[in-house]
């Protein structure tokens, strides 16, 4: 396995990345409520879970009490609104804001369930709109001025047009990958692109992990993926059919009363992202054991059947 992948990563120098992110005042905990963190959620390969992750992390952080703005910058492939169940409430997008046809607050849709969570779409579905770097930067600055503490940008995949403009205002990035060699190789490329755009505070989320396949040596472990890319790990999310159910319902997984393992994993990633000192949930401990322990942790053992 090592031979196939050895030329993949330049083995980014984690120490220097961390040092750079420490120099960045916008990384780490938010102690000052006026400070905000602008984070792009990106990947090399498409379809690896960016939008699912943006919706769940955003909702989870809002539930933790932070003011969160989610930006759907995947122009032409917009679907963050569907995952949040907000598709019928979008009258205006950033296009109209930048063209002076409406105010920012008219395009920034507040979630009814959590009023501290808002969504802004860059353009309507199937509408090609080339937002410039400057346009994107101005837009994010205006949202920061409204007092949002976290601005999560759901980005196009790294090789798509629009990627470079969408990441312009960000100081941090989350790279999504699945434990497959194609997605990992593309994640490595996107990590290079982020570095070239001076985004050094980068964290990894490995999605669609199958502990049973890892056990039978049919899938790379989360640790393997992390070591190959040399990017600090924020979270690992298991493959879970509930993701599809929650997408269809327009309710992010983290809203369920009784969380599934993927919901717990997203919540764990959100807590780590805001700077809480939670340990990473280890998906590779025997499935039932970790699931039961995680549920016990969140709800107490009497709630678990």
Told to check if 42 binds Mg ion by CB under 5 A, we report: no
Q: What residues from 188 to 207 belong to the interface with ligand ADP (CB under 6 A)?
A: 207
276 labelled ligand-binding: no
Q: How far is the CB of 71 from Mg ion (least distance, A)?
A: 12
Q: Is the dihedral of CA 149, 155, 158, 161 positive or negative?
A: negative
Residue 246 CB, nearest approach to Mg ion (Å): 15
Among 137, 247, 255, 287, binds ligand ADP (CB under 6 A): 247
Q: By CB under 6 A, what part of segment 26-45 binds ligand ADP?
A: 43
Residue 265 Cα distances to 200, 223, 260, angstroms: 24, 16, 9
235 is in an annotated binding site: no
| From 9, 17, 21, 51, residue interacting with Mg ion (rule: CB under 5 A) | 51
Q: What are phi and psi of 49, to 5 degrees?
A: 120, 20
Q: Tell me which of 17, 165, 262, 295 binds ligand ADP, using CB under 6 A.
A: 262
Structure-block tokens of residue 223: 């640790």
Output 43 or 201, the one with its CB closest to Mg ion.
Answer: 43
Q: Which does 39 bind (CB under 5 to 8 A by kind): ligand ADP, Mg ion, none?
A: none
Q: Does 237 help bind ligand ADP (rule: CB under 6 A)?
A: yes
Q: How many CA atoms lie within 13 A of 278 on its CB side?
A: 22
**Would the annotation count 260 as a binding residue?**
no
- Which partner in Mg ion, ligand ADP, none is near 72 (CB below 5 to 8 A by kind)? none
x-or-dash string of contact with ligand ADP, 42-81, rule CB under 6 A: -x--xxxxxxx-----------------------------
- Between 51 and 226, whose beta carbon lies closer to Mg ion? 51
- Of the candidate spans 28-36, 64-72, 224-232, 238-246, the one that interacts with ligand ADP by CB under 6 A turns out to be 238-246
Does the annotation list 50 as a binding residue?
yes
Per the annotation, binding residues for ATP are: 45-52
| Residues in contact with ligand ADP by the rule CB under 6 A | 43, 46-52, 207-208, 237, 239-240, 243-244, 247, 262
Residues forming the site for Mg ion (CB under 5 A): 50-51, 74
């Amino acid at each position: 396995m090592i031979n196939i992948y050895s030329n993949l990563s330049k083995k980014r120098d984690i120490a220097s990345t961390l040092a750079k992110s420490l120099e960045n005042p916008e990384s780490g905990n938010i102690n000052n409520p006026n400070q905000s963190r602008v984070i792009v959620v990106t990947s090399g390969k498409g379809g690896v879970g960016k939008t699912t992750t943006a919706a769940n992390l955003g909702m989870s952080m809002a539930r933790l009490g932070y003011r969160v703005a989610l930006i759907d910058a995947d122009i032409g492939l917009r679907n963050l609104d569907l995952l949040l169940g907000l598709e019928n409430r979008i009258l205006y997008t950033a296009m109209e804001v930048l063209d002076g046809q409406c105010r920012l607050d008219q395009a920034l849709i507040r979630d009814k369930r959590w009023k501290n969570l808002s969504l802004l779409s860059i353009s309507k579905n199937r509408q090609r709109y080339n937002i410039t770097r400057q346009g994107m930067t101005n837009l994010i600055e205006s949202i920061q001025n409204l007092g949002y503490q976290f601005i999560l940008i759901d980005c196009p995949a790294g090789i798509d047009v629009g990627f470079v403009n969408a990441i312009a205002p960000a100081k941090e990035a989350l790279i999504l990958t699945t434990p497959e060699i194609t997605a990992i190789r593309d994640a490595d490329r996107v990590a290079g692109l982020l570095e070239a755009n001076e985004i050094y505070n980068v964290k990894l989320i490995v999605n669609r992990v199958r502990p049973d396949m890892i056990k039978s040596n049919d899938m790379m472990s989360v640790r393997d993926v992390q070591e190959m890319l040399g990017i600090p790990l924020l979270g690992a999310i298991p493959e879970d059919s509930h993701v599809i159910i929650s997408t269809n319902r327009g309710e992010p997984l983290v809203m369920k009363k009784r969380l599934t393992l993927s919901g717990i994993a997203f919540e764990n990633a959100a807590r780590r992202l805001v700077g809480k000192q939670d340990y990473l949930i280890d998906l590779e401990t025997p499935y039932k054991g970790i699931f039961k322990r995680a549920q016990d942790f969140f709800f107490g053992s009497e709630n678990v059947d």
